[in-house]
Structure 1
Amino acid sequence: MRGISITEPGEADVLQATDVQAPTPQSGQVVIDTVAAGVNRADVMQRKGFYPPPEGASPLPGLELSGTIREVGPDVDGWSVGDEVCALVDGGGYAEQVLAPAAQLFPVPQGVSVRDAAGLPEVACTVWSNVFMTANLQPGEVFLVHGGSSGIGTMAIQLAKAAGATVAVTAGTQEKLAFCRELGADIAINYREQDFVEEVRAATDGHGADVILDNIGAKYLPRNVDLLATNGRMVVIGLMGGRKGELDLGKMLSKRAAVIATSLRARPPREKATIVAAVREHVWPLIDDGAVRPIIQGTHPLDRAADAHRELEASGHIGKILLIAREAHGL
């Protein structure tokens, strides 16, 4: 089969289509004939040599995909050959066939194409596990997500609004901010022209943010802490703005606030299975009902993965970018 290999750490051109060995399912696993795979910042970090796959995972990039089950391994219940699914995987999503744990499978939601379902697992699991399972966002609270027009941001807006929160976002263009408002954002801030701390405080009568989802890291750390409300919770899921920053513990103590750093890929299988089960219970019904939807910017053929990475790194997109491995009915 064909897959996308990283020939060496580097820029997008190191992503090359090569012949790789087709996977064989072991206990608790299935093999999926891939229709589409989601492209994520974690894939870029892996390509550059900064985010190696967990032990035992495929060396190929790709953390989410959609398609049909080709083969079912031993000790798998509830799934059959031919089922249309999407999946959260530890790696290997950029390939024509992908090995996936049965505990990390989702059915393709009603009203969503098999192709577009590839853009759901990573963002749904990231947002639900961090914003709701970890930060415990409650109805009526103020929620801020940085990068509101990203794949994670567009999912976070929709889920936070569905939960009854007041949603604030940052983005870098008026077009992106307008799209965030269409998704339900109440406060939309152009980080190039406005101070998000001042804007959120002004919009909330000085209250600030109860929960912040941050993928920037060190660059925003002091200002995020300034913005946290009493008993506020900040979850850091990325380091696009640097790894090292000063944390004012005095402010944290006075606010009784929490700063939590998490990642999804490195979690053990049991934790991932728990997250997937929670997403199926709480998020999938919202997608089935049309209250939440995947936001897909565009697609590239699998063998043009380098172009997809260039588009992602240019940061002009809104929502998700997908790689297409094969055509499927209903696209």
Structure 2
Amino acid sequence: MRAVEFHEFGGPEVLRMTDAPDPEPGTGEVTIDVAYAGVNFADTKARAVGYRVPALPFRPGLEVSGRIRAIGAGVEGLRPGQEVAALTPHSGYAEIALAPASTVFALPAGVSLRTGATLPTVLPTVQALVHEVGRLRAGETVLVQGAAGGVGTVAGQVARLGGAGAVYGVVSRAEKVEEALKYGYDAVFVGDDFTAGVQRATSGRGVDLALDPVGGDTLRRSLDSLARFGRLVSFGNAGGAAPWQLGQDDLYPRGLSVSGFSILALAQDDPEALRSIAGKSFLLAAGGEVELPVTAEFSLDRAAEAHRLMDTRATTGKLLLSVAGK
């Protein structure tokens, strides 16, 4: 089979198309004939700095859609030929992906394979951020960093569906504002000065819930944007800053709370919890309540171009690799 791997860390040019043996499922595993593979920031971070890379050579790819090729011993509820979406432990950039059966999900009726490739990381992540960890209550206000990205476009919609009184977004560039406003946001702020915009929009009160994938100074500014008793959920460190540290002086005066979430950690530590969250969130796509915009699509042999585009930080929505998609 064809697969994309890298043998050293670096820019998009280190991605190479290779011929690899067809994987066979072991106990509790499934192989999938890949139709589409999602392109995620975690893939570019793995390529550039070795994020979650245990050894080289390495094959990126966290999520795919396709049809089950074969199932291993002990797998129940899945069958060959079934259309599925899956979280793949860094094996998705290939014609055949190997995945634990616990992170393989049957596609709901009416959800295409193309849309299916956008589901495994984004929808469960947003469901967890807004409801499981963020514990949004009706009427509360929400602030989302990266509002025009894959998670951001969905977070605005899910927060609105969850009864948020107002949803505010932050984007890195002015040209992304119009795109973000399509997905449930009342206002979208540009760049590092978003705290002032939040204070103006909320008459100085701040927001009840902030979702931050950036870390560093952006996380600090998100914390400053919270109302009394507000909650912040960190779900990444896209800015590459040193791990953040908060103390009593940051939290006690306004009764603030800070939590964290990782979809990959959940998949590894508690796959049943992931399955429950994914089941709830996939219904939103099946029912047409949430739109997951795909803004660029590349063939498998153009994976380096997809990474190059993502590295510009100018992308919006979701990027896909079309492996055998129609």
TM range, smaller chain: over 0.9
Q: CA distance change for structure 1 residues 292 and 148 in 2, over 3 Å: closer, same or farther?
A: same
Q: CA distance change for structure 1 residues 246 and 102 in 2, over 3 Å: closer, same or farther?
A: closer
Q: Do 2:45 and 2:51's aligned partners in 1 also have CA atoms closer than 8 Å? A: yes
Report what 1:76 is aligned to.
75
Report what 1:215 is aligned to.
213
Distance, in Å, in 2 between the alignment partners of 1:60 and 1:325 is: 15
Q: Do 1:208 and 1:228's aligned partners in 2 also have CA atoms closer than 8 Å? A: yes
- What pairs up with 1:183-198 in 2 under 5 angstroms? 183-191=183-191, 195-198=193-196
CA offsets 1:267-291 (integer angstroms, 9 cap, x no match) = 46342331232221x2122111111
Equivalent AA in structure 2 for residue 199 of structure 1: G
Q: Secondary structure at the match of 1:255?
A: coil
How many residue pairs get matched? Answer: 324
Gaps of 5+ in 2: none
Q: Do 2:62 and 2:90's aligned partners in 1 also have CA atoms closer than 8 Å? A: yes
Deviates more, 1:168-177 or 1:181-190: 168-177
Q: Do 2:266 and 2:274's aligned partners in 1 also have CA atoms closer than 8 Å? A: no
Gaps of 5+ in 1: none
Equivalent AA in structure 2 for residue 217 of structure 1: G
Deviates more, 1:35-44 or 1:58-67: 58-67
Q: Secondary structure at the match of 1:240?
A: coil
Equivalent AA in structure 2 for residue 64 of structure 1: E
Distance, in Å, in 2 between the alignment partners of 1:152 and 1:300 is: 20
Q: Do 2:206 and 2:227's aligned partners in 1 also have CA atoms closer than 8 Å? A: yes
Distance, in Å, in 1 between the alignment partners of 2:123 and 2:102 is: 15
Q: Do 2:113 and 2:325's aligned partners in 1 also have CA atoms closer than 8 Å? A: no
- What pairs up with 1:2-13 in 2 under 5 angstroms? 2-13=2-13
Distance, in Å, in 2 between the alignment partners of 1:75 and 1:247 is: 45
Report what 1:302 is aligned to.
300
TM-score by length of 1: 0.91
Equivalent AA in structure 2 for residue 149 of structure 1: A
Which of 280, 283, 295 aligns to 2:281? It is: 283
Deviation (angstroms), 1:325: 1.0
Report what 1:32 is aligned to.
32
Q: Secondary structure at the match of 1:30?
A: strand
- What pairs up with 1:99-248 in 2 under 5 angstroms? 99-165=98-164, 166-191=166-191, 195-241=193-239, 242-245=241-244, 247=246
Deviation (angstroms), 1:245: 4.9
Distance, in Å, in 2 between the alignment partners of 1:105 and 1:139 is: 32
Deviation (angstroms), 1:293: 2.0
Deviation (angstroms), 1:15: 0.5
CA offsets 1:43-88 (integer angstroms, 9 cap, x no match) = 0111013312469x99311000000011011222221111111111
